[in-house]
Amino acid sequence: MPFAPVLHAEWIKIRTLRSLLGALAAILVATAPLAALASADADDSDPLFSMFFGIGFGQVAAIAFGTTAVSSEFRGGALRLTLAAVPDRGRWFAAKATAIALPALAVGLLTGFVTLLVGRAALGTSAPGRTEGVRGAVGCGLHLTLLALFAAGLATVLRSGVATLSVLIPFLLIVSFVVGDLSGSVADFLPDRAGQVALHSTWDGTLGPWTGLAVTALWTAAALLAGAWSLRRRDA
């Protein structure tokens, strides 16, 4: 089967599952409204990150979206039916990843620019410049997309939404938070910390805005490759 109809089928799955649509909506709802609250108590040394403070909650929703989109295939024998229609597992997995990435990127960019507008309105004259703000909004969209795909790759390896979320959510909320102040150390290269460099006005660590996103992209690529390998090597 050609790639286009496989992608179309995967897109139908996503837009017809309420849990997935809810996770996409939660990315925006969990991120943008906090821009006004965080900006009201903004740190003058980093007004950009004050605007995008809600990304910590939005990335949890992005991970839930990527995880659920894949883990739903491992319930009730759904994957066996899918692979009966699309025997080429590599093509199916590529279509699944694309079907996750496109809406995640669209919602992520929307979230980034809505957060930017809300934050600029709240900060007024203290708001960061246009170039810096656009970089933050685009970085927000890319970061959320990469984390959704990272979760999708891990969910393919673990074959369980519960197991995947049990690993990633404590990692984001506890492990990364605890070691997050260790700038210049290995903490800077964690997938969530690296991607968030693009949301800072200034950063004392090793990475820059785009190199940070590149590190997150490498984590994502590794997770997707591990997922593809697992899918090929294990029975449906």
Spatial separation of the C-alpha atoms in residues 142 and 122, rounded to whole Å: 24
At 136, which helix (H) or strand (E)? helix 130-158
Residue with tokens 């980034």: 112
Check whether 24 has a pLDDT greater than 90. yes
Structurally, how many domains does the chain consist of? Answer: 1
Q: Is the pLDDT reported for residue 43 higher than 60?
A: no
Question: Whole-angstrom Cα distance, residue 229 to residue 217?
Answer: 18
- pLDDT tier, 83 (very low <50, low <70, confident <90, very high otherwise): confident
pLDDT tier for residue 121 given thresholds of 50, 70 and 90: confident
Question: What's the rounded Cα separation, in Å, for the pair 187 and 194?
Answer: 8
Q: What is the pLDDT of residue 102?
A: 97
More reliable by pLDDT, 187 or 98: 98
Q: What is the pLDDT of residues 203-225, one digit of tens each?
A: 777 888 899 999 999 999 999 99
The sign of the CA dihedral 69, 72, 74, 78 is: negative
Q: Which domain covers residue 96, as residue numbers?
A: 3-233
127-155 pLDDT, tens per residue? 778 888 899 999 999 999 999 999 999 99
Model pLDDT, residue 154: 96
Highest mean pLDDT among 55-69, 113-127, 162-176, 188-202: 55-69
CA angle 193, 100, 200 (to 5 degrees): 25
